[in-house]
Structure 1
Amino acid sequence: MIQLAIISDIHGNLLALEAVLKDISDRSIDQIYCLGDLVDFAPWGNEVIDRIRAHRIPCLLGNHDERIAYDLPIIPLAHHDAIETANREIAINWSKQTIRADNKQWLAALPYNITLTYKSGSSIKNILLVHATLESNDAYMYRDDSKNELIAVLKERSVDVLVMGHTHQSYIQEQSDILFVNSGSVGRSREDDRKATYTILQIAETGIDAEIVKLNYAIDEVASAIYKSDIPNFYGDFLLKKAALV
């Protein structure tokens, strides 16, 4: 059996990343892939990038990574209120000023998606990794969204599993013999528990199974570091709020 760990949406949260990498190591999983969004909203954007680079973890270009790498304008999001919009602009501009030039160059060279093909026994399986969707790293695809048109495209490409991030809400869903997996967020979960979340794929001749892993980590320490930084307190409060999504 082949095992893969899929991580995503770290957002500068080094302590959450370290907890996830330790858990992956403890499970003796040596294949790790990252779906992007390494930066913004916690103080360790450079350290997170350095860690991914040091571990030689293949990584996709997330929408936040792309904005920092290419100094793209900050466009307000329709689902954010005025308070979050203002704090988001401050936080992203902080990243633009603090991410090192070599890390921006590294981000700019990341691929948009990755297709993995594995053979287990006589069975060949194709896994497509994207940050958000096939055609956009800004679009949102939730569990309840219709996937009928997407299924036709994936069938044409012989894709057995689509793994995505971006929404910060994990799920596993099977439709028309295609497995849809959202790996959740390592560093900025929008789920009520706020735990560091990632996915394990287990590939066997009989098929592919997915498991969502949720880990406790030192959220209080991350929030404290945010409060001591120039990143708005909004993002520390976000991590500490374990009730309704914000």
Structure 2
Amino acid sequence: MKLAVISDIHGNAAAFREVLKDAEKAGISNIYCLGDSIGYGPEPDEAIRMVRERSILSIQGNHELAVNQPGYLDWFNPIARISLEKTITMLSGQSLDYIAALPFFLTGNNCRFVHGFPPDSPTTYLFEADPEQVDAAMTKAEEPICFVGHTHELMIVSHDGREVSRRPLKRETIMLDTGCRYIINVGSVGQPRDGTNHAKYVIFDDQALELEVRFVEYNVTETIDKIYAAGLPEQHAWRLF
């Protein structure tokens, strides 16, 4: 079965719509979302509504965690905290109830889905983990493949039973090795930080073990204008360039 894995929509409904269109054209209806559907962007309630209406399986990211447990607001830098506090006021009661019920991880299709780092952390960045931590996490995991987001950068980490290796992903299609275990960072739909302003996500064929990295164009200016109109920190607009 082919499935799409998305992450870090961050209230960028314009980018999210184009990703959904792209997935539909590719014949994909099974979608997992790795959290951070809110924060930074101008349409957090719309992003949540789109996730809900399409029955997309989703988990908590660190931004949802801070909504559910306000003590985690102190974890964010000052600008991100201001943005998140503004975001919370933009969410409907229905969206808040939805966010409150999100789990920290999901499993399916012989894969694990986590926002930050396995087995279930929404706050640990993949780049923070040294080879020993990665080795331990991958060795303990029941699932050979774990998809993560959080860093907004595409990355693949592999473990062949002897050593851990990692490299950035680009717009490409690769075959995974049945003898390896993987942590795959799917990048960001709504706020990529890898040098291009395309929305990013992946399509994974769990039978062929084929991974396709998708770059999707969208109207960046639309989102930038809405960030300013919403009174969100202008740094969030700059990042989209």
Q: Find the counterpart in structure 2 of residue 55 from structure 1.
A: 54
CA contact (8 A) 2:41 2:236 kept: yes
Task: Give the 3-state SS of the residue equivalent to 1:239 in structure 2.
Answer: coil
Q: Find the counterpart in structure 2 of residue 155 from structure 1.
A: 139
Find 2:150's aligned residue among 144, 166, 169. Answer: 166
Q: Find the counterpart in structure 2 of residue 237 from structure 1.
A: 238
TM-score (norm 2): 0.86
CA contact (8 A) 1:114 1:130 kept: yes
Q: Find the counterpart in structure 1 of residue 164 from structure 2.
A: none
Equivalent-residue separation in structure 1 for 2:73 and 2:240 (angstroms): 22
CA RMSD of aligned residues (A): 1.8
C-alpha deviation, 1:169, in angstroms: 0.3
C-alpha deviation, 1:137, in angstroms: 0.8
How is 1:9-88 mapped onto 2 (pairs within 5 angstroms)?
9-77=8-76, 85-88=77-80
Whichever residue aligns with residue 225 of structure 1, its letter is: K
Whichever residue aligns with residue 229 of structure 1, its letter is: A
C-alpha deviation, 1:157, in angstroms: 3.6
CA contact (8 A) 2:18 2:216 kept: yes
Deviations 1:185-235 (Å, cap 9, x if unpaired)? Answer: 00011110021000111122xx52222211111111111111111111111
How is 1:214-229 mapped onto 2 (pairs within 5 angstroms)?
214-229=215-230
C-alpha deviation, 1:153, in angstroms: 4.1
How is 1:191-230 mapped onto 2 (pairs within 5 angstroms)?
191-204=194-207, 208-230=209-231
Q: Which deviates further from its counterpart, 45-54 or 193-202?
A: 193-202
Whichever residue aligns with residue 39 of structure 1, its letter is: I
Deviating runs (4+, > 2 A) in structure 1? 69-73, 144-158
Equivalent-residue separation in structure 2 for 1:139 and 1:145 (angstroms): 8
Unaligned 5+ segments in structure 2 are 161-179
Whichever residue aligns with residue 231 of structure 2, its letter is: D
CA contact (8 A) 1:172 1:210 kept: no
Q: Find the counterpart in structure 2 of residue 123 from structure 1.
A: none
Whichever residue aligns with residue 35 of structure 1, its letter is: L
Task: Give the 3-state SS of the residue equivalent to 2:74 in structure 1.
Answer: coil
CA contact (8 A) 2:7 2:149 kept: yes
CA contact (8 A) 1:226 1:233 kept: yes
CA contact (8 A) 2:153 2:185 kept: yes
Task: Give the 3-state SS of the residue equivalent to 1:187 in structure 2.
Answer: coil
TM-score (norm 1): 0.84
Unaligned 5+ segments in structure 1 are 78-84, 118-125, 241-246
Equivalent-residue separation in structure 2 for 1:113 and 1:59 (angstroms): 8
> What is the aligned residue count?
221
1:189 aligns with 2:192: yes
Whichever residue aligns with residue 90 of structure 2, its letter is: T
C-alpha deviation, 1:86, in angstroms: 3.4
Share of identical aligned residues, percent? 28
